[in-house]
Structure 1
Amino acid sequence: MQVSLHIPFAIRKMAGTIPPMSKTLVRRLEPEQITALAIHTFTASGALAGFMSLVHLFRNDITGTLMWLGIALVIDSIDGPLARKFRISEALPGFDGAILDHVIDYSTYTLIPAVILYHVGFMPPGWDLTAAGLVVVTSLYCFANKSLKTRDNFFSGFPATWNLVVLAFYILETPPALNALVVVLCAALTFVPLTFVHPFRVRAFRPLTMALTFVWAALAVFLVLERGEHTGLMTRTPAAYWGFILVSIYFVVISLRRSIRGKPDPA
């Protein structure tokens, strides 16, 4: 079955189904190509979420900033499984979805969080620009590292998830000196082959890890919304606050377990 659509030349060239010099604007797209285009568009919407987070940041609305970064994270968590399921690289061989994903991920995982570090006041006086610069530069290695993933889908080295770092700073209300130490440590760990868990692709304890990932996300959303313009989450919502910490510790432990084992978990 084929679907007839009026589509631009660029899309047809991207699909790899017409000669580069063709000027024909009306062609046929296979259903799988339409699906691939829809998934690429969904991935691209992560850039809009990132832009909206900046809009809220410049309005000094850190809650809105983190919520939009959360939306970008959800998009990034979903588009990869969809791309693999529908094999979109085969449907549109002229378009590299991995590059699209990397561009958006660098923006939402690294660049925007670096701006947050510079703008919000998480760092000690005089450290904001240094910390932001350290983040944007060291993260480039992560995105260029061809050995970033292990065979069992752990990350090798800190995976530049600075969006989660600034989220933790906001929720836990950690002191600026400790925040600066964490930034330096995470930047250094980018180059160290310690493993970090990928919660959606882990093999060991997969059901538990998946369940705790959703619990962690729900707690994070609740705590961000609960904090708003106020502080003192530890005393105002102690159950959610300590629950967030305990689940975060679980992810640290499962990452350290894999590093100590030094070999992939069985499939």
Structure 2
Amino acid sequence: MNGGYGIAQRLSAWAVHVFTGSGVVLGLLALLSASSGDAEACLGWLGLALVVDGVDGTLARRASVRDVLPGFDGSALDLVVDYLTYVVVPALFMYVFNLLPNGFGIPLTAWVLMTSLYCFCNVNMKSGDNYFVGFPAIWNVVALYLWILELNPWINAAILIAFGLMTFTTVKFLHPFRVRKLMRVNIAVSAVWLISSAALVILQPERPPVIFAVWLLASGYYVAVCAWRTLRGPEAA
């Protein structure tokens, strides 16, 4: 026994950490796909990493990993994995697939990498009701939008600069698996968004109107919730 917990409980806790850590393998596969010029595969691996990150917190709480394995910091593990899959790989993706203006790829990807450091080190990253405070460095999602929408590279540059600046603001961003208010609706919309995103990646450059409309509606829901929560101001748990 260790701290009152049995072998089965410790194995369960370690299994959760291994599940979280598998994100670095998905990140590696995404890096290799980007390096070989396969945008669809890169986004696919990043999508799987997003799913892992979305559910590992719930698994960790159910397995009481902090209590069972107090000597291993799962939060630090999560941040290490997230910086790779949410920041480094998407930055490379935007650079490799020419989503940024010629001659500005390095400065803009550096902007992504540097502003994200603040986000990951910000002890006030979450509000009392579990919204992200400031842009939460979800560059994997930004890269997906830029690739699907095929915007002008200068518009993409402006978007990157704007989101990077929002890192230092108090704009609220929804965490669908942690915010309790309308959680079931938030998770359902997230599932619709994920499925429609996957369909658009697979079908690119085709954008079937129904799927594209569903994707935009799900995106609009997120924007509306984030704007509503931001305008409400500070709120406790």
TM interval, shorter chain, is: over 0.9
Q: Residue 216 of structure 2: which of 228, 231, 245 is its match?
A: 245
What residue is the counterpart of 2:188 in the other structure? Answer: 211
Partners of 2:213 and 2:156 in 1: CA distance? 19
Preserved contact between residue 125 and residue 133 of structure 2 (Cα < 8 Å) = yes
Q: Does 1:106 align with 2:106?
A: no
Q: TM-score, normalised by structure 2?
A: 0.95
Q: Which has the larger radius of gyration?
A: 1
What residue is the counterpart of 1:222 in the other structure? Answer: 199
Q: 1:184-222 CA deviation, whole Å, 9 max, x = no partner?
A: 000000001111111112233322222111000000000
**Structure 1: unaligned runs, 5 residues or longer:** 3-14, 18-27
Q: 1:25-67 CA deviation, whole Å, 9 max, x = no partner?
A: xxx9621101111111111111000000011111100000000
Q: Report the number of matched residues.
A: 237
1:16: Cα distance to partner? 8.0
Preserved contact between residue 16 and residue 92 of structure 1 (Cα < 8 Å) = no
1:263: Cα distance to partner? 3.4
Q: Residue 137 of structure 1: which of 102, 114, 133 is its match?
A: 114
1:177: Cα distance to partner? 1.3
What residue is the counterpart of 2:170 in the other structure? Answer: 193
Partners of 2:45 and 2:105 in 1: CA distance? 22
**Tell me, what secondary structure is at the counterpart of 1:34?**
helix
What residue is the counterpart of 2:230 in the other structure? Answer: 259
Decide whether aligned partners of structure 1 residues 125 and 232 sit closer, same or farther in structure 2, where only a CA change above 3 A counts. Answer: farther
**Tell me, what secondary structure is at the counterpart of 1:191?**
coil
Identity %: 38
Q: Does 1:45 align with 2:22?
A: yes
Q: 1:95-121 CA deviation, whole Å, 9 max, x = no partner?
A: 111111110000000011111122110
Partners of 2:7 and 2:153 in 1: CA distance? 54
What residue is the counterpart of 1:171 in the other structure? Answer: 148
Preserved contact between residue 200 and residue 206 of structure 2 (Cα < 8 Å) = no
Partners of 2:112 and 2:119 in 1: CA distance? 11
**Tell me, what secondary structure is at the counterpart of 2:175?**
coil
Across the aligned residues of Structure 1 and Structure 2, the Cα RMSD in angstroms comes to 1.7
Q: Which runs of 4+ in 1 moved over 3 A?
A: none
1:232: Cα distance to partner? 4.8
What residue is the counterpart of 1:64 in the other structure? Answer: 41
Q: 1:145-176 CA deviation, whole Å, 9 max, x = no partner?
A: 00000010100000000000001111122221
What residue is the counterpart of 1:30 in the other structure? Answer: 7
Q: TM-score, normalised by structure 1?
A: 0.85
What residue is the counterpart of 2:99 in the other structure? Answer: 122
